[in-house]
Amino acid sequence: MSYNLTNLLYLVTIVTFILALRFLSSPAHARRGNQIGAIGMLVAIAVTFAKKGLTDYWAIAVAMVIGGGFGAVAARKVKMTAMPQMVALFNGVGGGAAALVSLAELHRILPEPGAPKVDIGLAIVLSALIGSISFSGSMIAFAKLQELLSGRPITYAGQQFVNATLFLACLAAGLALVAGVQDEWLLWTLAAGAALFGVLFVLPIGGADMPVVISLLNAFTGLAAAATGFELESNVLIVSGMLVGASGTLLTLMMGRAMNRSIANVLFGAFGKVTEQAAAVAAGSGDGNVRSASAEDIAVMLAYAHKVVFVPGYGLAVAQAQHDVRQLADLLESKGVEVSYAIHPVAGRMPGHMNVLLAEANVPYTQLKEMDEANPEFSRTDVAVIVGANDVVNPDARNNQGSPIYGMPILNVDDAQAVVVLKRSMNPGFAGVENPLFYNPKTVMLFGDAKASVVKLIQDVKTV
Amino acid sequence: MSHNTLLVFEVTILVLAVFLGVEVISKVPALLHTPLMSGTNAIHGIVIVGAMLVLGLPDKGVFTWIVGFVAVVLASANVVGGFVVTDRMLEMFKKREPPKRP
């Protein structure tokens, strides 16, 4: 295939990727967009196979079957609740691939005198650096979300210093390579150092901040792929990688805004370890009385309400209660209650996590309300039912300047006539912050596993 | 094309891609942010093209062969897993089902 034809066909791939993203503007045709993107990827793979001078077709095919087979099985088998860690895993392997490509590319060009040229050297260093961080960082994010590691921030004294030193050392190795030091092992050392940095960098980040981390690492892998595009003079890699890099960065910033925290604070703040401070704040809040109610009482409240809003949080995902919540909602609707769901942008472990879980339970997406749409509705709501959410409904974010989450936009559930909180125990949420909502006279608590509580509510609503 | 001409051309499309990415993504509703991440995750699997070029190099040594092979395995897991997971997610987003007949 000629050089020009190859590049024209790669352009087809680029267009399909843009369409795939464009079609995501509405759930009605988003799936078709993704399929178009997949076809574009197939085109790119086929075109690459047809490239002049390519050898070892069998090795490529075998490697594809191994990797693709693993990807297909893992993606099919995974439960919807485990989706965030699956995305983290696939993101990580992509970053790893980008780093390996740059290592091989340096190995190929080093024998040439004067190689690599400054720009190629820069691209190689960047893709090795960013790709390695993305690889190991994603693996740690995976391990945390899969609960192979504690979701709590893991910190030690001098952590920031160690991380900064390591990162600067990697940067110095990179600069040496760009400046013309012809040493392949320098790049391997850099990649290994960057991988270690990825581990140390994600370890201190708490589970509740994972949406930001996954989004950022996604952007990293995109940037690493774009950098390999410069090494291989491939437009399709540059454009596709950069599309992902730009969108991932934008999404990361949006997550930060949704929590009213800077990205630096999320990444380096080790949020959630500030329990002493939080406890001090909590001591001064609320009248200290928590009202718990029986499922029967709450069932009556729900059955005679006009409007009920469910507020899901990570607890819903952990208990896998989405199907039962939907059943309860259906039951209430059949009794003439108006039901909707209020979704906070950072509820769960990845952006939009709750939307996916509720979609899995066949909740029509027209009932899923974003924060700006949901908040004005609470004043006309009879009962707000909080299922496993905590920090995203904490009124301290509005009222208590001393609270670590002060300033974070929240769902104003306390505007509703009554609030029902389904919660395992009185333990504070991931951010380690006490929640005065629980002490509000409007609030009743129903303690227990979210799924068990919802099942009980379904039974009791039936008998009302 | 000389090396520098090519470089300027590449930087041009890189910068355009940044603006395009921001433009396209800002139209995605929060409802679809998880599929957006998962979908862009699949798209950066395009690094498979780079991995294939490495493993397909003529006259390469064992070192390049191994690195290329691992890179293709990782990138294909990224591609297939990314698109399949995204498809599974998007499949679930439905409007209200037609009312069930009793």
Residues A110 and A187: beta-carbon distance below 8 Å: no
pLDDT at A279: 47
Please list the residues that pair with A384 across neighbouring strands.
Answer: A309, A419
pLDDT band of A274, cuts 50, 70, 90: very low
Kindly report whether the global pTM for this prediction surpasses the value 0.90: no
Query: Which runs of consecutive H residues, i.e. helices, occur in A304-417?
Result: 314-319, 322-334, 353-360, 371-374, 396-399
For A86-90, A97-101, A144-148, which range has the lowest pLDDT when averaged over its residues?
Answer: A144-148
Return the H-helix or E-strand segment holding A312. strand A307-312
Task: Cite the residue boundaries of each domain of chain A with CATH code 3.40.50.1220.
Answer: 278-463
pLDDT at A87 over 90: yes
Per-residue model confidence as pLDDT tens digits over A330-364 = 999 999 999 999 999 888 888 888 998 999 898 99
Nearest CA to B10 out of A137, A232, A349 is that of A232
Q: Which two tokens stand for residue A187?
A: 């790049």
Q: Which of A209, A324, A391, A460 is catalytic?
A: A391
pLDDT at A430: 55
Any B CB within 8 A of A351 CB: yes
Nearest CA to A265 out of A222, A205, A305 is that of A205
Distance from CA of A276 to the nearest CA of B (A): 34
Per-residue model confidence as pLDDT tens digits over B55-100 = 999 988 999 999 999 999 999 999 999 999 999 999 988 776 555 5
Nearest CA to A226 out of A133, A130, A137 is that of A130
Please check whether residue B37 lies inside any domain of the structure.
yes
Per the CB < 8 Å rule, is B76 touching A64?
Answer: yes
Chain A residues inside the 8 Å CB shell of B29: 25-26, 370
What is the Cα Rg of chain A in Å?
Answer: 25
Q: Which two tokens stand for residue A367?
A: 């009932």
Region A194-207: what's the mean pLDDT?
90
What type of residue sits at position A20?
A
Burial A81-115 (b: 16+ CB within 10 A, else e): bbbbbbbbbbbbbbbbbbbbbbbbbbbbbeeeeee
Please list the residues that pair with A422 across neighbouring strands.
Answer: A387, A446
pLDDT band of A429, cuts 50, 70, 90: low
Q: Which two tokens stand for residue A402?
A: 């001393």
Number of Cβ within 10 Å of residue A50's Cβ equals 12
Per the CB < 8 Å rule, is A72 touching B60?
Answer: no
Burial of residue A66 (number of CB atoms within 10 Å: 0-12, 13-18, 19+): middle
Nearest CA to A213 out of A94, A88, A90, A97 is that of A88
In A62-215 the beta strands, taken as DSSP E runs, fall at none
Please check whether residue B23 lies inside any domain of the structure.
yes
- Name the domain count of chain B: 1
Nearest CA to B78 out of B67, B89, B86, B90 is that of B86
Cα-based torsion angle of the residue sequence A68, A73, A74, A76 in order, rounded to the nearest 10 degrees? 120
CA atoms within 13 A on the CB side of B12: 6
Backbone φ and ψ for A158, nearest 5 degrees, come out as 75, 15
Chain A residues inside the 8 Å CB shell of B47: 94, 97-98, 101, 221, 224-225, 228, 237, 241
Q: Residue B11's domain spans which residues?
A: 3-92
Per the CB < 8 Å rule, is A221 touching B44?
Answer: yes
Is A183 considered catalytic here? no
Tell me the C-alpha distance between A21 and B25, whole Å.
7
pLDDT at A44: 97
Number of Cβ within 10 Å of residue A306's Cβ equals 12
Please check whether residue B76 lies inside any domain of the structure.
yes
Tell me the C-alpha distance between A368 and A460, whole Å.
25
- Which residues touch A72 (CB under 8 Å, ≥6 apart)? B80, B81, B84
Using alpha carbons only, give the angle A355, A462, A390 rounded to the nearest 5 degrees: 35
Distance from CA of B78 to the nearest CA of A (A): 5
Q: Write out the CATH class of domain A278-463.
A: alpha beta
Burial of residue B96 (number of CB atoms within 10 Å: 0-12, 13-18, 19+): exposed
Residues A151 and A207: beta-carbon distance below 8 Å: yes
Per the CB < 8 Å rule, is B86 touching A68?
Answer: no
Any B CB within 8 A of A359 CB: yes
Region A203-212: what's the mean pLDDT?
83
Nearest to A24 among B28, B50, B74 (CB): B28
**CA-based nearest residue in chain A for residue B85:** A75
pLDDT at A432: 62
Nearest to A243 among B43, B49, B65 (CB): B43
Region A353-377: what's the mean pLDDT?
90
Higher pLDDT, A130 or A448: A130
pLDDT at B39: 95
Q: How far is CA A90 from CA A39, A134, A136, A425, A453, in A?
A: 19, 11, 12, 34, 35
Residues A398 and A391: beta-carbon distance below 8 Å: no
Nearest to B22 among A64, A250, A360 (CB): A250
pLDDT at A56 over 90: yes
Chain B residues inside the 8 Å CB shell of A21: 21, 24-25, 28, 36, 39-40, 43
Tell me the C-alpha distance between A220 and A63, whole Å.
24
Residues A459 and A423: beta-carbon distance below 8 Å: no
Report A:368-397 residues touching B (Cβ under 8 A): 368, 370
Region A9-21: what's the mean pLDDT?
96
**CA-based nearest residue in chain B for residue A29:** B90
Per-residue model confidence as pLDDT tens digits over B23-61 = 999 889 888 998 999 999 999 999 999 999 999 999 889
pLDDT at A397 over 90: no
